[in-house]
Amino acid sequence: MNGILPLWKPKGLTSHDCVVQIRKIFKTKKVGHTGTLDPEVEGVLPICIGEATKIVPYLTETKKGYVAKVALGQSTDTEDRHGSIVDKKSVIDFPSEKRIENVLQSFRGTIKQVPPMYSAVKVNGKKLYEYARAGEEIKRPVREIIIYELNQLPLKAEEKEKNRFSIEIVCSKGTYIRTLCVDIGKCLGYPAHMSDLVRTTSASFTKKHTVTFSIIEEAAKHNRQDQLLLPMIKGLDHLDILYVGEETKRRVYHGQKISKSNHKLTTDPFVVMHDQQLLAIYQIHPQKPEQMKPVRVFHG
């Protein structure tokens, strides 16, 4: 079985927990997820199975979409609602939509972000959360991320009563939404944290594509779990496609370089296909720009 299982990850499981369960259901070790979600976060988590595990890095690099709740008035050591409170300030005057919009505007585009102490970013070979659990504060690397879209969702009365508002985000790999919520709160003049998070998109996968564990387990009872898999090309539709003939197909299968000739490609790497068959992922040769070399070849 080769393909992508578009899982709706439930709350309470780590991304690795999901992989372990899917290995059992699909009876294969070749399973990989495409971007970690914290245990208390639910949402779109494409899982690659079989030959599709070869495309995990290409899916991990794609844009992600989220809906998050910003809670004003309290900040925590983990930057979400599960941490210990480290700062408090009464919200006397909840910011207007216009004021929130003005602040959101400053976060759109390429920005710098310091990852939270409770994160898996490594510093000197050790994960930041390991330092945090040991009570050590350490200088964290500043990273550049891209916020492609950032919008305030219509404010609900019950959210305002709890000093919260919801935002919709489309961002690059490596973005910490918790930190974004904290930084937005600071700009509004309040300590803040992220009180809730849902991943709504990953690459071209949205909630409507997803399946739950109950659906997967029901399909497995009838040995139909393979019917839930989407083709590998679905996870690569952010890359250009180069269609080749039968002769070039044989060369691709043998991992040979092919001539760039007059092919107009806007992405590097790119996908190589024959008819509707996914053959490989190629890239422009770094030393010989007139040639293209394989980085992944698919069999089956």
- So what's the pLDDT on residue 225? 94
- So what's the pLDDT on residue 56? 93
**What H or E segment, with its residue span, contains residue 241?**
strand 241-243
Separation in Å, CA 108 to CA 129, 134, 176, 245: 28, 35, 14, 43
Residues 6+ apart with CB under 8 A from 136: none
Is the pLDDT at 125 greater than 90? The verdict is no
With cut-offs at 50, 70 and 90, classify the pLDDT of residue 17. very high
Is the pLDDT at 260 greater than 90? The verdict is no
271 with 171, same domain: the answer is no
- Burial class (CB within 10 angstroms; exposed 0-12, middle 13-18, buried 19+) of 158: exposed
92 with 174, same domain: the answer is yes
Averaged confidence pLDDT in the chain: 93
11 with 83, same domain: the answer is no
* Beta bridge mates, 199: 43, 66
132 with 11, same domain: the answer is no
37 with 102, same domain: the answer is no
CA dist 279 and 141 (Å) reads 39
| CATH code, domain carrying 212 | 3.30.2350.10
158 with 226, same domain: the answer is no
How many whole angstroms from its chain centre is CA 28? 24
- So what's the pLDDT on residue 197? 97
93 with 191, same domain: the answer is yes
CA dist 1 and 240 (Å) reads 25
CA dist 28 and 23 (Å) reads 5
The closest of 7, 3, 4 to 216, measured between CA atoms, is 7
- So what's the pLDDT on residue 272? 94
Question: pLDDT by residue (tens digit) across 170-213?
Answer: 999 999 999 999 999 999 999 999 999 999 999 999 999 999 99
CA dist 52 and 3 (Å) reads 5
Which of 38, 80, 268, 275 does the annotation list as catalytic? 38
193 with 74, same domain: the answer is yes
216 with 94, same domain: the answer is no
> Is the four-CA dihedral 74, 75, 76, 81 of positive or negative sign?
positive
| CATH code, domain carrying 279 | 2.30.130.10
Query: Residue 269 corresponds to which amino acid?
Result: P
Helices then strands, each counted (H, E), the chain: 8, 18
230 with 133, same domain: the answer is no
The closest of 275, 273, 274, 295 to 284, measured between CA atoms, is 295
- So what's the pLDDT on residue 206? 95
Q: Which domain holds residue 52?
A: 3-62+204-235
Is the pLDDT at 300 greater than 70? The verdict is no
Query: Domain boundary at 169, 197, 225, which?
Result: 197
How many structural domains comprise the chain? 3
- So what's the pLDDT on residue 54? 93
Q: Tokens 């720009």 — which residue?
A: 289
| 149 token code pair | 């879209």
39 with 70, same domain: the answer is no
Residue 237 annotated to the active site: no
83 with 146, same domain: the answer is yes
